Amino acid sequence: MTNSLAVRDLKAGYDGTTVLDGVDFTVPTGTVVALLGRNGVGKSTFLHTVMGMVKPYSGSVLVDGRELAGSPAHVAARHGVAIVPQGRRVFAPLTVEENLHIAAGHKHGLKRGRSPGREPGRWTVARIYELMPRLAERRSNRGDQLSGGEQQMLAIGRALLRDPRLLLLDEPSDGLAPAVIDQVAEVLAGLRGEGIASVLVEQDLHLAFRLADEVAVMQKGRIVHRSSTREFRTDRDRAHALLGVG
Ligand SMILES: Nc1ncnc2c1ncn2[C@@H]1O[C@H](COP(=O)(O)OP(=O)(O)OP(=O)(O)O)[C@@H](O)[C@H]1O
């Protein structure tokens, strides 16, 4: 099986501090891998380093076989990496429609109004509305008039419009009510079959277990456990020891 993402001995941090202390991590093509771990172990830093927002000290980040370690985020974006950041940064003063068209514009070299049709792996604003009808209903609302769940959906829509082959999701459930988490989970589950590999950083274990094929656990900037989701969720003692939860 090929890997969409293969990270080797990645070291990174901020101003000389070490946060990632030799991370080895793979995402087989078309699969979802949940990256779990207690607060502050370096999960967001890992996503930011893969995306090119944090420059690594050393190590390798292969995306579809191409070395991206140390490349800036726009290069990673061009090679099919997209991130849905924690806190779902959408443009507050712009409408849903404008937010989506800006993301789509990046892809089409700012040639607006052209629809590339329904090619597999190609996302259009119309397809985003199909996947998330709630966004279609709210298309004229500004980003800051949306609920947390709607903002999360908009952030997911913006990332998809980059046609990612590797999607980095940073705590999509953060700050959302359980019923809303369910809606977001349904959207993410709907991406199955789209050929997108994902890294899902998530504190909500129910969501992680529902979406992920495999589970990795980070402690102190290293991956200390890797298994199938099925194996991990049935081994409560291990989950408790690694994450401090039952
Ligand atoms: N921009 C930054 N500048 C300096 N230090 C940072 C920065 N971002 C994160 N850190 C530090 O890096 C360490 C790891 O943080 P990170 O956000 O990657 O952890 P995390 O596992 O994602 O935790 P959480 O679930 O709380 O987001 C922490 O000690 C944090 O304070």
- The residue-averaged pLDDT of 216-240 equals 92
Range scoring the smallest mean pLDDT among 23-27, 31-35, 110-114, 234-238: 110-114
Query: How high is the pLDDT of residue 236?
Result: 81
Atom of ligand 1 nearest to the CA of 46: 18
Reduced to 3 states, what is the DSSP secondary structure of residue 207?
Answer: helix
The phi and psi torsions of 200 (rounded to 5 degrees) equal -115, 105
Ligand 1 centroid to Cα of residue 222, in Å, is 14
Q: List the domain boundaries for the chain.
A: 3-89+164-243
Neighbours of 243 (CB within 10 A): 17
Question: How would residue 11 be classed by pLDDT, with cut points 50, 70 and 90?
Answer: very high
CB proximity list for 87: less than 8 A, separation 6 or greater: 174
Alpha-carbon distance 7 to 134, whole Å?
36
**Category of 207 on φ-ψ map: left (φ > 0), alpha (ψ -120 to 50) or beta:** alpha
Alpha-carbon distance 85 to 62, whole Å?
21
pLDDT tens track for 104-134:
886 654 344 444 444 555 899 999 999 999 9
Q: How many CA atoms lie within 13 A of 43 on its CB side?
A: 24
Residue pair 221/21 in contact (Cβ under 8 Å)? The answer is yes
CATH T-level fold of 3-89+164-243: Rossmann fold (3.40.50)
For ligand 1, is residue 44 a contact (CB within 6 Å)? Answer: yes
Q: Over 90: is that where the pLDDT of 142 sits?
A: yes
Range scoring the smallest mean pLDDT among 105-119, 142-156, 162-176, 218-232: 105-119
Ligand 1, atom 16: closest residue by C-alpha: 42
Query: How high is the pLDDT of residue 215?
Result: 97
Q: What percent of the chain has pLDDT over 70?
A: 92
- The residue-averaged pLDDT of 192-199 equals 89
Reduced to 3 states, what is the DSSP secondary structure of residue 180?
Answer: helix
- The residue-averaged pLDDT of 68-95 equals 91
Question: What pTM, to 2 d.p., does this model score?
Answer: 0.91
What's the mean per-residue pLDDT of the chain?
90
Neighbours of 197 (CB within 10 A): 26
pLDDT tens track for 31-49:
999 999 999 999 999 999 9
Burial level of 184, CB count in 10 A (0-12/13-18/19+)? buried
For ligand 1, is residue 221 a contact (CB within 6 Å)? Answer: no
Strands 32-36 vs 197-201: parallel, antiparallel or unpaired = parallel
